[in-house]
Structure 1
Amino acid sequence: MLRRLACTVVQSRGIKHTVNVKWVRPDYVPAYKPEKSGDLEGLPPIPESAIGKDYSLSEEIKDASESVKKIFSVAHLGRKEYNRLVKEELIDRVKRHQYDHSTAETKIAFLTGQIRYLQDTMDKFPRNKKMKQLVQEKIDRRKKLLKYLRQYDYKKFEWLLEKLNIEYKGHPESFHKLSRMESLRKLTEMHCDDIRNKKLADYRNLLESQQGPYLQQKLDALKLIRSEQIELKLPITVTEQDITKVQQQFDDWKIKDDIKQKAMKKKKNIVLEI
């Protein structure tokens, strides 16, 4: 048992030192970040001078002075009113009519506004655990609605993703824990595949380079055999079609070889310029 364990340790050490594979643990990305949630844009550009939603419906505010408008602006009313305008702007992109507030599209737009507002707040206060839990709940609820819309109306699902500029990222079917050993094993397999593919490509290039002289020798041999058979009045086994076929293969090889030589020369000149 100890001998077998020692052999495995020696083998693993040998592989580790001979194969140049380095593994770096990927950076941790919180679930509320846009990379995980699928939001491809941030908060919509709403100016601080914008009037609050309820106050903008008033006719008197249009003719009011700048000082009065400033009192009822988003900058004075606070972030809560700004969040309300964000949600209203996203809902306006997808709502069917003026009183549409219960369809799946408007619900998704409403949640998207909340998510983006909470993401912006989490960037400022990343240690707020309660808000982190809240934004994760909103993201999960939006995923559920997106999954429903994707299942029953795929065209509207794609249209909604384009309008709100989001990307659907469903829940994974199984949880896979990241480990260093498994990652190193995969990297080693990829490294071995690269070595094998490189050797196969070199061997293929070698065979292709030898194909031209071989076809030339074959063409000369066929012509010689046919001429001697005609001269000695023997049964002709080599036809003109055989010679034409080999000649066509040789011409095709010359064209490919010229293209390859030009590409290699161009690549060499670029390397020398660098």
Structure 2
Amino acid sequence: MLRRLTTSIIPSRGVKQLVNIKWVRPEYVPAYKQERSGDLEALPKIPTNAVPEVYALTDELKDAPESVKKIFSVEHLGKKEYNALVKKELINRVRRHQYDDNTAETRIARITGHIRCLQDTMEKFPRNVKAKQTVQELIDKRKKLLKFLRQYDYKKFEWLLEKLNLEYKAHPETYYKLSRKESLRKLTEMHCEDIRRNKLADYRNLLESQQGPFLKQKLEALKFIKSEQIELQLPVTVSEQDIKKVEEQLEDWRIKDEIKQQARKKKRNILLD
């Protein structure tokens, strides 16, 4: 009872009482989502009248009428044939030659096609546990292959990411549990860093505003010293180069100051509008 009374009378001192920071738990994103997997595009656009390779190579279908070809097209076939066309389209982007089926880039392209087909399935059926496990395993397998390719052939790694429209997201080096205390500590550090940066910017602006009058006084002082030394027939310690240097600095400050004044006027006009 006494402890409760003392804590209510004497507030505890700390950052939490000085800085008003609100912590919100981040939204959970499943591993199969494009934000975490690194896929920057969905399924490639395949025309509905496309015919799978198994049927396209037959001589009977070449001479068949359009109605028969339409029956064997992607529009009337199942999901399995459509997924095969998706994988083939991605493999054709990166394959070296016609019989290239087992290099690192073709394997990554095949896995990417499978991943994107499963991602489309998960969007329609988010409770499909088997598809969820499979797509997570494939994403981890693709990360290992990308890590291998990045280590041994970086140029091809960059080229592959561009062709397949991928973003490499490696496994984190350290795993830590998300907690409210740790997040508040990081938010407090970010808040203090913003305060420090703003104070430094204000101090820099103050010094820059005082630079102009200081350069004017310096220029007048140098000219006065030179003229006095010439009149008194003393050795001249102020050269013409020193005076020109100060004049150039003063001119640069005037140009920067005019630009800042114009920017402030535009900002003020925008706020008034």
TM bracket, shorter-chain basis:
0.7 to 0.9
Cα distance in 2 for partners of 1:52, 1:221 equals: 87
Tell me which moved more, 191-200 or 219-228: 219-228
Specify whether residues 88 and 269 from structure 1 end up closer, same or farther in structure 2 by C-alpha distance, changes over 3 A only.
Answer: same
- Please list the CA deviations of residues 39-93 of structure 1 after superposition, one character each: whole Å capped at 9, or x if unmatched: 1111121233322321111121122233322332223331111111111222222
> Structure 1 stretches of 5 or more lacking a match?
none
Residue 133 of structure 1: aligned partner: 133
Residue 161 of structure 2: aligned partner: 161
Q: How do 1:16-27 residues align onto structure 2 when only pairs under 5 Å count?
A: 16-27=16-27
Cα distance in 2 for partners of 1:229, 1:69 equals: 102
Residue 119 of structure 2: aligned partner: 119
Cα distance in 2 for partners of 1:165, 1:218 equals: 59
Alpha-carbon RMSD across the aligned residues, in angstroms, is 2.9
SS at match of 2:13: helix
Amino acid at match of 2:39: D
Tell me which moved more, 57-66 or 27-36: 57-66
Tell me which moved more, 126-135 or 94-103: 94-103
Cα distance in 1 for partners of 2:16, 2:59 equals: 76
Report the alpha carbon displacement of residue 237 of structure 1 after superposing the two structures with TM. 6.8
Cα distance in 2 for partners of 1:234, 1:88 equals: 91
Tell me which moved more, 133-142 or 188-197: 188-197
Residue 55 of structure 1: aligned partner: 55
Residue 239 of structure 1: aligned partner: 238
Tell me which moved more, 242-251 or 154-163: 242-251
- Please list the CA deviations of residues 109-162 of structure 1 after superposition, one character each: whole Å capped at 9, or x if unmatched: 111111111110011111111111111111111122222222222222222222
Amino acid at match of 1:258: E
* Contact 1:226/1:236 (<8 A) preserved: no
Q: How do 1:1-274 residues align onto structure 2 when only pairs under 5 Å count?
A: 10-12=12-14, 15-224=15-224, 227=227, 233=232, 235=234, 239-241=238-240, 243-273=243-273
Amino acid at match of 1:78: G
Specify whether residues 10 and 212 from structure 1 end up closer, same or farther in structure 2 by C-alpha distance, changes over 3 A only.
Answer: same
Tell me which moved more, 222-231 or 53-62: 222-231
* Contact 2:225/2:238 (<8 A) preserved: no
Amino acid at match of 1:25: R
Q: Percent identity?
A: 69
If the length of structure 1 is used for normalisation, what is the TM-score? 0.84
Report the alpha carbon displacement of residue 190 of structure 1 after superposing the two structures with TM. 1.6
Tell me which moved more, 58-67 or 219-228: 219-228
Cα distance in 1 for partners of 2:266, 2:18 equals: 35
Cα distance in 2 for partners of 1:156, 1:227 equals: 69
Report the alpha carbon displacement of residue 244 of structure 1 after superposing the two structures with TM. 4.9
Cα distance in 2 for partners of 1:82, 1:171 equals: 31
Amino acid at match of 1:175: Y
> Structure 2 stretches of 5 or more lacking a match?
none
SS at match of 2:254: helix
Cα distance in 2 for partners of 1:74, 1:194 equals: 56
- Please list the CA deviations of residues 207-247 of structure 1 after superposition, one character each: whole Å capped at 9, or x if unmatched: 2222333333344445455555665x474676354555544
Specify whether residues 114 and 222 from structure 1 end up closer, same or farther in structure 2 by C-alpha distance, changes over 3 A only.
Answer: closer
Specify whether residues 9 and 148 from structure 1 end up closer, same or farther in structure 2 by C-alpha distance, changes over 3 A only.
Answer: farther
Specify whether residues 127 and 252 from structure 1 end up closer, same or farther in structure 2 by C-alpha distance, changes over 3 A only.
Answer: same
Cα distance in 2 for partners of 1:102, 1:70 equals: 33
If the length of structure 2 is used for normalisation, what is the TM-score? 0.84
Specify whether residues 19 and 65 from structure 1 end up closer, same or farther in structure 2 by C-alpha distance, changes over 3 A only.
Answer: same
Cα distance in 1 for partners of 2:243, 2:160 equals: 64
- Please list the CA deviations of residues 167-197 of structure 1 after superposition, one character each: whole Å capped at 9, or x if unmatched: 2222222212222222222222222222222
SS at match of 1:76: coil
Report the alpha carbon displacement of residue 100 of structure 1 after superposing the two structures with TM. 2.1
Specify whether residues 208 and 104 from structure 1 end up closer, same or farther in structure 2 by C-alpha distance, changes over 3 A only.
Answer: closer
